[in-house]
Structures are given as structure tokens and as C-alpha cells.
């Protein structure tokens, strides 16, 4: 099977113009309608290494900060009898503590203060904090054996979405955009929205939705939470749409002349961006006008649905985006970093996200999109069973924990109503069916019809891929 890749470009030397390799044509191919993509593959000489996709779109609900798995999904009832006792060395097994807890004289066990129940035909265990999610568990596959390599937020989040702790690699959305292109020529293939809880959260950087060493055409477009979702879509005073059209046409002609001269794919990117921005002048206002949504749908999402920039609003926008053919939508919600006051702050954060998350699944199902859309809910790592700081009968905090955490996935190509993987009684180590971040990303690509080992890009003499040199598709959770 032929690999999907573009050669490395050295634009400053200009020798690509004589190389016979038309990178500009490859980048410009994303302007073509879907029915023309086969012709693009033939012209570029790089047929897509695909199998039959189970999903056409991805909505990634990235919960930034590290949600506490044992307070939300991973019930550990035996811990109630160990309140305040020292975490056994046999459980920690020599793991180095972070600087945040290494100076504590004691590492006390902090059982969850929240009750759990089983829901749905699947009998999935969900905390009292998530009453809405508990009603859609039969659509979800819970993965309780996730693990990662980084223990601090930025490298762990970078690893989750790019497959590397080091900045500079393409994000998952960029890889999907690169491999599959766009279904809608009037909207970006990859859209990002951010929101946060009452206490803000860890900083997010544009490189998390960047294209890395891929052509910049494939990077995510961030929709803002205030004002116009995308800057400069409105024409300046005195400039009509026809005048703007002529301006874009003239700039495009100049850019094409330069592209023909030096074959720089970044020029091709500028061409597509100008053209897309012009088309978005009409597509984006239609997208954000939720007046066409029924009262039932608005009630389903909750009272914050009309609050632009809120997690609830972003969830509704995610459905509207995939409904219009956007390939990858990533929602980042910050505020899950609970080193202290966890019972209070986690309750508030769950309350502000639970209804909208469940509504998104139900809404996608109601409009017939869930079978075509993969929905992923995950943070960058989990939390520790032991307490960070002072422990009381009503309060505790938890430190970062990369050894095990819970994520869930639903929709196109995934088995419904399933729990996969298991942790020990302390929610500290995995005892069955471990799932690495690379495995999750490999599975997402698989559901979208891409082989993670074949989706590559040659950069600095090496073929890179999202999953580096690891990752296995989680066959057991596929429908």
C-alpha cells in the first residue's frame, strides 16, 4: 500500500520549480469538490491509503486539566474503609512523586465523596455528578485504562493531540484534514473552540491545533468566543461584496503567478485562505444563527446555549459544524485541574458541562449524525487516589496521574454501551486492557478510514506519523 506523504519543501532555494513535484497542486486540491478528489489523487500520484470509513466527522471534547476519574466514572468502593491511611508502597511501586506532593509528610488516601450508580442496559457506573451523561451511557464506550507518558499539563496535552510531548508536531485535526480533505468548501475542515470554568484553567496554545510541519493549510481555525467568530469576515465600511470579490480575485491571480514560479505550498495556502475567507462571509453567519433551532433542541442543551463562548454554546455549534460537513471539531474546556477544593469545584464544573455533553450525543442521534460522527471525551491525564494537601472528611485535592485515567468514545464505528479496561482498587495502576494515547489516536484514524501506519509526512529525512512508531487499533471496541 502506497504511503500518503508530501516531500519536504526547502522554499528558500527555489529548486522545487524544476523538480517536477507539484506541491502547490497537492495543497490546492483541497479546493476541489469531493467528487474531484479522485482526480486529485491521480494527478498528485498519491492515492489515499484508506479502508472503508465508519465515521465521516470527529468531535473531540478535550477536558483540559485532568478530570478526576475516581470521582466521575471509576468507582472504588473499597477505598471508603481506607480514608486517611497511607497509600501502600506496593501500589505506588516506586513512582516518583511530583514536586507538588513530594514534600508532604504523608500521602493519605482520599476516597471519593460522591455516590455512584449503574445506568442503562449496559450497567455503566457513573457518579452522581453526571446525571445527564448517565442517561446516554448506552451510546458510550468507556475506556477506563487510558495511560500517557507526561505528568505535567502542557506536555501531556501536547502529547494527547499531537502524539509527542515536544511542540512542533501536527495535531490530530491537521492529520485528518491532510489525509481526508474537506467536505464543505465554505467552511474550514478543522475548527477549534475554547471555553473554561469559573476558575479559568491551564493556558492553551495555538500549536495544539496547529499543522506543525504539514502545510499550514491543514491547521485548525479557531472560532472566537466573543464578537465575530472569525476576524475580518465583515467588509469594511464602503467596501461592497462585489468590490471584495474583485480584490480577492486580483490577489489570487498574483499569488498564482508566484506559485507557478517557485512552487511554494505556503503560497497555495494563502490562495485557499483568501478564497475560503470570502466564502465564509456568508457561511459563518448562517452557521451561528441558531434561530432555526427548535425550542426542544435549545432546552436539550440548557440555559447557557445562547451564551456565545460557553461550553454549551460550543457543543451546539459542534453539531451544526459537522452537519455542514466540517471534518474535525475540537472543543477545549479548561478548569479540571483540582489540586484543592475538589469536591466543590468538580461539582461546579460537572454541572456546567454535563447537560451539554449528553445533549450533543442525543442531538446527533436525533438528526441521524451519530453513526457518522465520532465523539471523544478525554483529558490529558487522570488524578491520584491520594490527597494533595490537607485531607478532611469533606474536602481534598488530587495530584496529576498519568498511569491511568478514563476517557470515553461514542458514535461511528464504536461499540455502544461498553466498558473497556480496568484499574486496581486504588485507581492507580491498570490491571486489564491498557490503552495508550497512541492506541486511542490510531483507533480514531481507523474509524475515519485511515491506517495510522500509512498516514505519513516526510520531514527532515524521516517519515513522521501521528502515532510515532507505536499505537494499535483497539479492535475490541469496534462495532
DSSP 310: S
pLDDT score recorded for residue 29: 43
pLDDT score recorded for residue 294: 97
333's enclosing H/E stretch is strand 328-334
Per-residue pLDDT tens digits of the chain, which is 479 residues long:
444 544 444 444 444 444 433 444 344 444 444 433 433 333 333 445 578 899 999 999 999 999 999 999 999 999 999 999 999 999 998 888 888 888 888 999 999 999 999 999 999 999 999 999 999 999 999 999 999 999 999 999 999 999 999 999 999 999 999 999 888 889 999 999 999 987 878 899 999 999 999 999 899 999 998 888 887 777 777 777 787 777 777 887 887 888 788 888 778 777 777 777 777 788 888 899 999 999 999 999 999 999 999 999 999 999 999 999 999 999 999 999 999 999 999 999 999 999 999 999 999 999 999 999 999 999 999 999 999 988 999 999 999 999 999 999 999 999 999 999 999 999 999 999 999 999 999 999 999 999 999 999 999 999 999 999 999 999 999 99
Q: Is 365 helix (H, G, I), strand (E, B) or coil?
A: helix
pLDDT score recorded for residue 247: 78
pLDDT score recorded for residue 40: 37
Distances (CA, A) of 379 to 61, 79, 395, 439: 9, 24, 23, 15
Gap between the Cα atoms of 356 and 319, Å rounded: 11
| CATH number assigned to the domain with residue range 11-22+43-477, chosen from the 4 options 3.30.70, 3.90.550, 1.10.287, 3.40.720 | 3.40.720
| Residues pairing with 61 in the sheet | 331, 377
What is the sign, positive or negative, of the torsion defined by CA atoms of 310, 394, 129, 384? positive
Q: What are the grid coordinates assigned to 125, written together?
A: 457506573
CA dihedral 102→104→109→112, nearest 10 degrees, is -90
Q: Give me the phi and psi of 319, to 5 degrees please.
A: -65, -40
Q: What are the grid coordinates assigned to 14, written together?
A: 527555489
Contact 73, 409 (CB under 8 A): no
Location of C-alpha cell 480533505: 181
pLDDT score recorded for residue 48: 58
pLDDT score recorded for residue 36: 36
**Burial group, residue 462, by CB count within 10 angstroms (0-12, 13-18, 19+):** exposed
Contact 369, 322 (CB under 8 A): yes
| Phi-psi map region of 421: left, alpha, beta (phi>0 left; psi -120 to 50 alpha) | left
Gap between the Cα atoms of 326 and 342, Å rounded: 36
Pairing of strands 405-411, 373-378: antiparallel
Pairing of strands 430-432, 418-420: unpaired
Task: Single out the residue of 327, 235, 332, 225 nearest to residue 280, CA to CA.
Answer: 235
pLDDT score recorded for residue 27: 43
Gap between the Cα atoms of 27 and 244, Å rounded: 24
| Residues pairing with 432 in the sheet | 422
Distances (CA, A) of 460 to 172, 178, 466: 20, 18, 16
Q: Is 446 helix (H, G, I), strand (E, B) or coil?
A: helix
Task: Single out the residue of 279, 221, 220, 217 nearest to residue 248, CA to CA.
Answer: 279
Q: What are the grid coordinates assigned to 129, written together?
A: 455528578
DSSP 4: B
Domain map of the chain by residue range? 11-22+43-477
Amino acid at each position: 500500500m502506497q504511503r500518503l506523504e508530501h516531500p519536504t519543501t526547502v522554499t528558500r532555494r527555489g529548486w522545487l520549480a524544476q523538480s517536477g513535484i507539484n506541491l502547490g497542486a497537492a495543497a490546492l486540491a483541497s479546493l476541489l469538490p469531493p467528487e474531484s478528489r479522485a482526480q486529485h489523487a491521480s494527478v498528485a500520484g498519491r492515492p489515499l491509503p484508506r479502508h472503508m470509513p465508519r465515521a465521516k466527522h470527529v468531535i473531540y471534547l478535550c477536558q483540559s486539566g485532568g478530570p478526576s476519574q475516581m470521582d466521575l466514572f471509576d468507582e472504588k468502593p473499597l477505598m471508603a474503609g481506607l480514608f486517611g491511611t497511607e497509600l501502600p508502597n506496593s501500589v505506588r511501586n516506586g513512582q516518583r512523586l511530583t514536586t507538588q506532593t513530594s514534600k508532604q509528610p504523608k500521602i493519605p488516601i482520599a476516597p471519593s465523596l460522591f455516590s455512584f450508580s449503574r445506568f442503562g442496559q449496559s450497567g455503566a457506573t457513573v457518579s452522581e455528578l453526571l446525571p445527564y451523561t448517565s442517561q446516554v451511557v448506552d451510546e458510550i464506550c468507556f475506556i477506563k485504562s487510558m495511560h500517557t507518558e507526561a505528568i505535567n499539563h502542557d506536555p501531556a496535552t501536547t502529547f494527547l493531540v499531537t502524539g509527542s510531548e515536544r511542540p512542533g508536531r501536527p495535531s490530530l485535526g491537521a492529520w485528518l484534514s491532510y489525509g481526508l480533505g474537506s467536505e464543505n468548501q465554505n467552511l474550514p475542515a478543522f475548527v477549534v473552540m475554547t471555553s473554561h470554568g469559573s476558575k479559568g484553567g491551564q493556558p492553551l496554545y495555538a500549536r495544539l491545533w496547529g499543522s506543525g510541519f504539514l502545510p499550514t493549510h491543514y491547521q485548525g481555525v479557531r472560532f472566537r468566543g466573543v464578537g465575530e467568530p472569525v476576524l475580518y469576515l465583515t467588509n469594511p465600511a464602503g467596501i461592497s461584496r462585489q468590490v471584495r470579490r474583485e480584490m480577492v480575485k486580483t490577489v489570487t491571480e498574483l499569488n498564482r503567478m508566484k506559485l507557478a514560479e517557485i512552487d511554494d505550498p505556503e503560497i497555495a495556502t494563502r490562495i485557499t485562505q483568501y478564497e475560503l475567507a470570502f466564502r465564509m462571509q456568508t457561511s459563518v453567519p448562517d452557521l451561528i444563527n441558531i434561530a432555526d433551532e427548535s425550542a426542544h433542541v435549545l432546552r436539550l442543551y440548557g440555559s447557557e446555549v445562547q451564551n456565545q463562548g460557553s461550553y454549551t454554546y460550543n457543543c451546539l455549534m459542534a453539531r451544526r459544524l459537522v452537519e455542514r460537513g466540517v471534518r474535525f471539531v475540537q472543543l477545549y474546556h479548561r478548569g479540571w485541574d483540582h489540586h484543592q477544593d475538589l469536591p466543590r469545584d468538580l461539582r461546579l464544573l460537572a454541572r456546567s458541562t454535563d447537560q451539554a455533553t449528553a445533549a450533543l450525543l442525543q442531538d446527533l442521534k436525533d438528526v441521524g449524525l451519530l453513526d457518522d460522527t465520532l465523539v471523544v471525551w478525554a483529558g490529558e491525564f487522570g488524578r491520584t487516589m491520594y490527597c494533595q494537601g490537607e485531607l478532611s472528611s469533606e474536602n481534598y485535592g488530587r495530584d496529576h496521574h498519568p498511569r491511568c485515567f478514563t476517557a470515553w468514545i461514542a458514535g461511528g464505528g464504536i461499540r455502544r454501551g461498553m466498558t473497556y479496561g480496568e484499574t486496581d482498587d486504588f485507581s492507580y495502576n491498570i490491571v486489564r486492557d491498557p490503552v495508550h494515547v497512541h492506541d486511542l489516536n490510531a483507533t480514531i484514524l481507523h474509524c475515519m478510514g485511515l491506517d495510522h501506519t500509512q498516514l505519513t509526512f516526510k520531514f527532515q529525512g524521516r517519515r513522521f506519523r501521528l502515532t510515532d512508531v507505536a499505537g494499535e487499533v483497539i479492535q475490541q471496541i469496534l462495532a
